[in-house]
Chain A
Amino acid sequence: MLQDNTIPWRDYSLTGRDSGPSFAPKQWYSTPVPRKRMKELMKRRDAPALIDYGIWLGFVLATGALVILTWGTWWAVPSVILYGVFYGSCADSRWHECCHGTVFKTPWLNTAAYQLASFMSLKNPYLWRWSHTRHHTDTVIVGKDPEIAFPRPPHPLNILWNMLHLQSGWNELKKMFWLSAGRLTKDQKTFLIEADRSKAFLASRVHLAILAMTFALAMVLQSWLPIVLIGGPTFYGSWLHHLLASLQHAGLAEDVPDHRLNSRTVYMNWFFRFVYSNMNYHVEHHMYPMVPFYNLPALHEEIKVDCPPAYAGTMTAFREMLPAILIQRRDPFYFVDRKPLLPKDANPSPEYTRPTAIAAE
């Protein structure tokens, strides 16, 4: 669908001309769910979380041992690939879940898992918590959301590099250096509160110290193995998570207060759902961020009659998303409009318009 192309294209920075007012929380649409049912869905349980995290860490340790045992042989190649996915991709999705604090019933388990997964994905736990808070307040609102992965018009190399985590991995490393030095960018200052800044600096210093020790060990041993095991997997193993996560919002509408129109729910196979912590139910996650990942399939059943149909599979979603962002290279006003796909009995999407006049000052 084409938008009005008489207006100049958008400024995605958080301090630029499009960083003006956004929608109020009550303007965002939510599919009504009976309170009793919602309480059941929001309930946290340690058991399913411990099983999931136990299996995950078990795979990390087992494949890590495999890497060590096969190092120096060709068998190390598949071992490293497997280890990278369990370390890099699984940690990225689990960082996100623990950021919401919804995974475990026991708070310290959630905090411990959050710190571990944050290091494994080289994300600063404080910076990203606040960045992600803003992402949920202003989902895909230009000039407000710091986590828009594919600003229009997308650069072809950015598309590829982002989908494989090459660019974003390097960006995280740069952030770590700057935060370790106690420096924040203008954009970061807009969402990271004063009280958490010193904690963010300390976390980055700890992450950097661990990476430095790993590098030193590699030098002493004259072997890449320590780097392949610690730190490295974030770069070479996060690709699967980023590939799946690229489907969350790319190519869909911007500046709409309705997650049914700016997010995708995609049916995925069990392995992808395990790696991705059920974030394929992304409309559901954004509409009700308090629901733990293990209850998202049930939430999907509750609200699907009010949403555009979920994508039948990962490839189906890519077949829509990839051409859309390629078209956006030529025509940044293009997007996939999901509004006509709302079921006929669904509640209509809110008609609010963002107050761009003030934003354009």
Chain B
Amino acid sequence: MTNWTRACACDDIETEDLIRYDNGDRTFAIYRSPEDEFYCTDGLCTHEEVHLEDGLVIDHLIECPMHNGQFDYRTGEAKRSPVCVNLKTYPVKVEDGDVFIDIG
């Protein structure tokens, strides 16, 4: 079942950056890629549950601010130790300058 939720305006996120989005007791990270495409993953690193909001976006990678583990935020794939478990990703759509995520 889809559950599209408005998360933010496109302009809220700089290119090659991310912001945090909280919905109830869930927390997400929304990314804007260098190609101006938007992506969404769980907000917490799978290694030690540090929030990724303070992390560094490098091309299509998000680097955790605590231990420098990296994920590909397009697929959630864990790319660099110490992260080993993939990050959950969520469908994203853009309508009228707003970013919507399907949080299921």
Contact = CB atoms under 8 A, between A and B. Distances in A.
Given A25-B48, A39-B56, A196 B66 contact: no
A137 interface: yes
B67 A136 contact: yes
B80 A133 contact: no
Interface string B36-57: 0000000000001111001110
A290 B51 contact: no
B17 interface: yes
A100 B66 contact: no
Given A42-B56, A101-B80, A26 B65 contact: no
A130 B56 contact: no
B63 A25 contact: no
Interface residues of B, number: 19
Contacts of A289: 65-68
B81 interface: yes
B84 interface: yes
Interface in B62-103: 63, 65-68, 70, 80-82, 84
Given A39-B56, A288-B65, A133 B49 contact: no
B68 A137 contact: no
A137 B48 contact: yes
Nearest to B50: A25
Given A42-B56, A193-B84, A133 B17 contact: no
Contact of A136 (B51, B66, B81): B66
Contact of B84 (A25, A42, A100, A195): A195
A329 B65 CA distance: 37
Contact of B17 (A39, A44, A136): A39
Give the interface size bracket for A toward B. 20 to 34
Given A25-B48, A289-B66, A289-B68, A38 B80 contact: no
B21 to A, nearest CB: 15
A129 B50 CA distance: 18
Nearest to A43: B56
A101 B68 contact: yes
Nearest to B61: A107
Query: By CB atoms of chain A within 10 A, which of B55, B66, B70 has the most?
Result: B66
B48 A290 contact: no
A43 B70 CA distance: 15
Contacts of A196: 81
B68 A100 contact: yes
Contacts of B67: 133, 136-137, 289
Interface of B: 17, 48-51, 54-56, 58, 63, 65-68, 70, 80-82, 84
Closest 10 CB pairs of A and B: A25-B50, A42-B56, A133-B82, A101-B68, A133-B67, A100-B68, A290-B65, A25-B48, A290-B56, A25-B66
